[in-house]
Amino acid sequence: MIDETNNESAEAGQQAPGPSLVDIMRNPTVEGLAQVLSRFDKGETMADMTGYPRANLEAMYTNAYNLYTQGKYAEAMATFGLLMTYNHLDRRYFNGFAACLQMQKRYQEAIKYYGLARMFEPRDLMPVLHIAECQLALLQLPQAQATLLYLREQIKDEKQLSALNARVDGVLALIEKNPATKKDNRGSQHAGN
Q: What pLDDT, in 10s, does the model give residues 168-186?
A: 888 888 888 876 665 554 4
Among the ranges given (92-96, 126-130, 161-165, 182-186), the one the predictor scored with the smallest mean pLDDT = 182-186
**In the structure, what pLDDT confidence band is assigned to residue 187 with cuts at 50, 70 and 90?**
very low
pTM for this prediction: 0.76
Q: What is the chain's percent helix, strand, coil content, to nearest 5? A: 75, 0, 25
Average pLDDT over the chain, rounded to whole? 83
- Whether 62 shows a pLDDT value over 50: the answer reads yes
If DSSP codes are grouped into helix, strand and coil, which group holds residue 113? helix
Helices 54-69 and 73-86: crossing angle, nearest 10°?
160
User: How far is the CA of 169 from the CAs of 4, 155, 158, 159, in angstroms?
Assistant: 25, 11, 15, 15
Separation between Cα atoms, residue 104 and residue 84, nearest integer Å: 19
The Cα 144–Cα 20 span in angstroms is 45
Query: How many of the other CB atoms lie within 10 Å of CB of 155?
Result: 19
- Among the listed residues 107, 132, 128, the one whose alpha carbon sits nearest the alpha carbon of residue 116: 128
Residues 38-52: tens digit of each pLDDT? 888 898 888 888 888
Q: Is the pLDDT of residue 100 over 90?
A: yes
Q: Kind and range of the H or E element at 96?
A: helix 91-103
At 22 the pLDDT is 72
Which residue from 125, 144, 130 is spatially nearest to 98, judged by alpha carbons? Answer: 130
H or E stretch at 91:
helix 91-103
Which helix (H) or strand (E) segment holds residue 34: the answer is helix 30-41
Q: What is the DSSP string of 131-191?
A: HHHHHHHTT-HHHHHHHHHHHHHHHTT-GGGHHHHHHHHHHHHHHHH-HHHHHHHHHHHHH
Cα(166)–Cα(163) distance, integer angstroms: 5
Amino acid at the residue 145: Q
